Structure 1
Amino acid sequence: MNKRFRHRRQTFTLSGILLGLLLALSSCSFPGVVSTSEQLPQVNQAEPTPQLPPIHFPQDEGAHNKLTEWWYYTGHLNATSGDGKTHHYGFEMVIFQALRSNLPPVYASHFAISDITRGEFHYDQRRRVVSSAAIPDGTSTQGINVNVGDWSIRGLDGHDHLAASMKDYTVDLNLLARKEPVLHNKDGLITYGLAGYSYYYSRTNMEISGTIIDHGQHMNVTGKAWMDHQWGNFLTLGSGGWDWFSLQFKDNTEIMLYFIRDASGKILSTYIGYIDAQARDYLIPAQALQTSVLGSWTSPQTHITYPSGWKLTINDQHVQATLTITPQLKDQELVVYPSTGNVYWEGAVSISGQLNEKPVDGEGYIELTGYAPKTA
């Protein structure tokens, strides 16, 4: 890769190189997985732990000197307007950081609002190059402090702040973690085989307060968010895809699961984590899960067909569940070629069913990538 970039340096401008780097980050819209054509090991409790330093807080909340890093937030907002009308929204906000060789840091960001009340989906994207920025070293105790223009993420010890705006929508959100962070795979290290290792933790239950400006109307909001932070020296190796689910239930429990697929659609790896009401994290074996797709949706813009609606069944000693998951809007597709070189579906969903022998409902977010038709 370095040789390729040296060749580009000779033939293209610096901005061209940096745009190429951003395109290389096309998989970074997914919190937790990279696409690869190589076989990935199954994530399970018997997997050996690499000899890497453990996660430390608050130092590891901030930026690191690693190839790839992101801070990723999704959630649901509730508001009441002056006329007494209730409003419901989903939102996504993410900032990616890319460090390559001696090039300046590159940042990209996506901000999306699922306006469930209006039945509309809106998003925007940004990118920037910070030519004079100091390279982060992962030792700061000041927490998260990243921005792309006036879109910003700040946070320390589970007290986070998000600010972003686009046409017709502005959010100013305070997030308070109600549980300790979950270190995925128990130690916060996920392996991708030849693609490398990544640190990965989530704050699965964050209480939201703040404001939204919706078409000029200023409203206070409450809600719940999910936060992912991932970093490491890993890169995309192939052209597969993934389905990622973050599920938050009204009984104060959460489930995260994802499937990594190769270019043919074959599932290479499955991860399932269940977080109980006391914030205990259980790693669930892949064989405990059964899934079925209930429908599909075809984008009128990209003509990509995505699954739309799911039934999940989990049968394990720690969690038994039968869940139906329904998109709150069919169209929640982001076409973000200028910022990260890719297209994906990420949207708010509703959940109903049975969890540990009790009726349950909730909300969540699902991300779908790699569904574009493969070209020869």
Structure 2
Amino acid sequence: MRLKLIPVLAALLLSGCAPVQTVVNPTQLPAATDFGAHANPMEWWYASAYLPGDGLALHWAQFRVRDPRVPVPLMISHVAVTDLRTGELTFLEQSPGTGDAAFPPLRIRQGAWTLTQTGPEPTAPLILQAGPLDLTLTPLKGPVLHPPGYSGSADTGVLFYQGITRLALAGSVNGRAVQGQAWLDHQWGNQIPGQTALWDWFSVHLEGGRDLMVYRVRRLDGSVAQLIGSVVEPDGRVRAVSGLRAEPGEAWVSPQGREYTLGWRLVSDEFDLTVQAVRREQELLSRSTRIAYWEGPIEVTGMWAGAPARGQGMMELVSGAWTPK
């Protein structure tokens, strides 16, 4: 099969003709330090940041798709940058093609876009160079495996889930100097976005050093297959959230007619938090993955263990499959 056919095949695999699913056993969990590539149908590495001091929000995602009908793994990547001062949203994609993924240290490349770890240690800084992004991400905590170690269920497919929840960010975006904090995720398994599952995801850097992750996996009919949350303490210890509820609030309909919930109440045995999108117009329509999703910055306020709490982060809401006209 000639390589020039790969972009066409990849588009089919990610829209209506999903990769052949392999068995993923959620009881055999990986190590928290397992950042390398895997032989599963779906895998991605993801970095995001809300930089209120610079008036910016951004994310980068590198997807790696494997299918026995295609001779090599397919790489697809996204970069989105929102200038909160001007309201301009820039969304860039690299079409399906070849690339590299190696570990340790972590090295990912698709075309000129790269994520390169500067050493084999799990907390070695990472250099992200992708389109307008030229950033150094230095872990402030060690990697964690988010309890229970995966997202999804038997009927939606499962993605193992590990990452680094707080990294110091410094560098430039479109040549403009920036600094702040970032979040890094890595997931892999047999769940196919838009084909077997949808989700609502929240990452929050709380004042005082705690990090909160909430993940609500939905079936295509809208029913909730899984709701999980994790807290990463200032010293890096991770634990599951108990008694978690995610209550939808304010809804917004995009110009394309898709509805997204942009206001939420997250409640557990220890916190009661209100989540609000900073900006509504954050829908992204990906031609490379054929997925419509909302991705943008959030502000979080409320109570935690009886004391006022405040934080900032990013939210991702996956609407489903999208067919470009």
With normalisation by structure 2, the TM-score equals: 0.85
Q: 1:70 aligns with which of 33, 41, 44?
A: 44
Task: Say if 1:96 and 1:25 are closer, same or farther in 2 by CA, change over 3 A.
Answer: farther
CA distance in 2, matches of 1:129, 1:183: 29
1:175 aligns to what SS in structure 2? strand
Q: 1:109 — aligned with what?
A: 77
The answer (yes or no) to whether the contact 1:24–1:341 under 8 Å persists in 2 is no
Q: Which of the numbers 53, 67, 88 marks the counterpart of 1:100? A: 67
CA offset digits 1:108-141 (Å, max 9, x no partner): 11111121122332211112322xx68x6xxx54
Q: 1:181 aligns with which of 126, 143, 167?
A: 143
| CA gap 1:204/1:13 in 2 versus in 1, 3 angstroms | closer
What letter is aligned with 1:361? R
Tell me, what secondary structure is at the counterpart of 2:15?
helix
Q: Which residue of 2 aligns with 1:142?
A: 104
Structure 1 segment 52-71 matched on structure 2, within 5 A: 54-55=30-31, 57=33, 60-71=34-45
Higher fraction of strand: 2
SS in 2 for 1:103: coil
Residue identity in the other structure for 1:245: F
| Structure 1 position 242 matched with structure 2 position 199 | yes
Decide which moves more: 14-23 or 255-264.
14-23
- 115, 122, 129: which one aligns with 1:163: 129
Cα deviation digits, residues 164-195 of structure 1 (max 9, x gap): 22xxxx22110111111111225x45563155
Deviations 1:349-375 (A, max 9, x none): 1111222222221111111113689xx
Greater fraction helix: 1
- The verdict on how the C-alpha distance between 1:65 and 1:372 changes in structure 2, with shifts beyond 3 A counting, is closer
Q: Give CA deviations for 1:298-325 in whole Å, capped at 9, x if unaligned.
A: 111x11111121122221xxxx112111
Would you say 1:281 and 2:238 are equivalent positions? yes
Number of residues of Structure 1 aligned to a counterpart in Structure 2:
311
Give the 3 Å change call, closer, same or farther, for CA 311–26 of structure 1 in structure 2: farther
- Give 5+ residue unaligned stretches, structure 2: none
Q: Conserved in 2, the CA contact under 8 Å of 1:72 and 1:94?
A: yes
Question: Partners of 1:112 and 1:231 in 2: how far apart?
Answer: 22
Query: Could you list the runs of 5+ residues in structure 1 that have no partner in the other structure?
Result: 1-8, 28-33, 35-47, 80-86
Distance 1:263 1:23 in 2: 14
Task: Choose the corresponding residue for 1:314, options 255, 268, 271.
Answer: 268
Bigger RCO (CA 8 Å, 6+ sep): 1
CA distance in 1, matches of 2:289, 2:194: 16
Partner of 2:159: 198
| Residue-by-residue CA offset, 1:10-53 (whole Å, 9 max, x unaligned) | xx9554323312436989xxxxxx9xxxxxxxxxxxxx96246x
Matching residue's letter, 2:48: T
Are residues 1:325 and 2:275 paired?
Answer: yes
Structure 1 203/371 Cα, relative in aligned 2: closer, same or farther at 3 Å? Answer: same
Shift in alpha-carbon separation, 1:351–1:25, aligned structure 2, 3 A: farther
Tell me the secondary structure at the aligned position of residue 370 of structure 1.
Answer: strand
Residue 23, structure 1, aligned to residue 15, structure 2: yes
1:93–1:110 Cα contact (<8 Å) kept: yes
RMSD of Structure 2 on Structure 1 (CA) = 2.9
In structure 2, the CA distance between the partners of 1:249 and 1:26, relative to structure 1 (3 Å rule), is farther
C-alpha distance in structure 2 between counterparts of 1:241 and 1:56, whole Å: 24
Identity %: 27
One-letter code of the match for 2:205? Q
Q: Write the distance in 1 (CA, Å) between the matches of 2:157 and 2:250.
A: 35
Structure-to-structure mapping, 1:268-307, within 5 angstroms? 268-285=225-242, 288-300=243-255, 302-307=256-261
Match of 2:212 among 255, 273, 279: 255
Greater C-alpha Rg? 1
2:180 aligned partner: 223
Distance 2:272 2:14 in 1: 39
Task: Describe the shift of the 1:171–1:290 C-alpha distance in structure 2 as closer, same or farther (beyond 3 A).
Answer: same
User: Does structure 2 conserve the Cα–Cα contact (< 8 Å) formed by 1:25 and 1:341?
Assistant: no
Point out 4+ residue stretches in structure 1 off by more than 4 angstroms. Answer: 12-15, 24-27, 194-197, 233-240
How has the CA–CA distance of structure 1 residues 195 and 303 changed in structure 2, closer, same or farther, with 3 Å as cutoff? closer
- Whether the 8 Å contact between 1:245 and 1:257 is mirrored in structure 2 is yes
